[in-house]
Amino acid sequence: MRKWIIAGIAVALVAGLGLAFYVRSGVASVNGERIRPAEFYKALQSESGKQTLERLILERLIRQEAKKQNISVSDAEIQKEADKIKSQFSTTDEFNKALKDSGMSMNDLNENIRLNELVRKLTLKGVTISEEDIKKYFDENKDSLGTPARVKARHILVKTRDEASSALKRIRAGEDFAALAAALSTDAASKVNGGDLGFFGPGEMDEAFERAAFALKVGEISEIVETTYGFHIIKVDAREEAKPATLEESREKIVEKLEAEKARPTDEVISEIRAASNIKVFWEAYKSLEHTPETTGDQK
């Protein structure tokens, strides 16, 4: 029965189209030769079936244990983590492309975040962070918790010095920097935004690029700057001066660091959950994933 259910996935996927059409059309065509659904699913099972089943078992164990310990993740917590991930990309389009390239939807990402947060909370079960802990960490790490000076810059990157010289002359003649960046720059990630790199601080860029950018005043345009990537022309749009840390502004970051230090190792927690679980596998090929706890009690 279970084998029929798995084999029948192909039927379920195309119930609305009709099985006959699906089998006839196949999954793909290579120079006119079709790859049939049965061949496709057989390959999936042999190449990644065990890993997939193991992942599903692990996810089920985590959700069951979290429910048992009354641990949950709110939509607000998921949104907060999703926003952190999005902030690592320059634009929404860049984020969406990365999501698409990984074969994920936003719902998939949210569910991954939910699962990771459940694991994190399981590793923190029984961990407490006191006000004294927070204050002590702040006093010992105050300098590193502050915000360093940052600049918001855009650039034009080209392959040769002659190209850079030509672009610089056009800018000084009055042409729009952003428009030229969009037309000339070889930096695909920033050119769509007129060369905008956003804010960055010390240690985030090539040393020569960073040195030139931090030497500019707001609105100023650099001379030609050579790096290992090519030849740049830089314009600074804004600056933020260094800002000393305060306890309240640093609190969330400190709590995260202390939790990371005090959390139990994830592998240790997962091993304990698995050791106490009764896992039955009905397909012979994956029998190695079975587990029976030493003391089963009333488990079935």
At residue 37, the pLDDT reads 86
- Rounded Cα gap, residues 78 and 107, in angstroms: 11
Of the candidates 247, 243, 22, 275, the one whose C-alpha atom is nearest the C-alpha of residue 133 is 247
At residue 16, the pLDDT reads 37
Of the candidates 200, 237, 202, 195, the one whose C-alpha atom is nearest the C-alpha of residue 217 is 237
- Rounded Cα gap, residues 211 and 216, in angstroms: 9
Of the candidates 261, 227, 34, the one whose C-alpha atom is nearest the C-alpha of residue 129 is 261
For 150-240, CATH number?
A: 3.10.50.40
At residue 86, the pLDDT reads 93
The pTM for the full model equals: 0.64
At residue 6, the pLDDT reads 36
pLDDT < 70 regions, the chain: 1-25, 295-300
At residue 23, the pLDDT reads 45
Q: Where do you find CATH 3.10.50.40 in the chain? A: 150-240
The secondary structure element, H or E, covering residue 196 is strand 196-200
The alpha carbon dihedral of 168, 170, 173, 175 has a sign of negative
At residue 272, the pLDDT reads 95
Count how many residues are written for the chain: 300
Per DSSP, what are the bridge partners of residue 152?
199, 238
At residue 28, the pLDDT reads 87
Of the candidates 284, 283, 267, the one whose C-alpha atom is nearest the C-alpha of residue 275 is 267
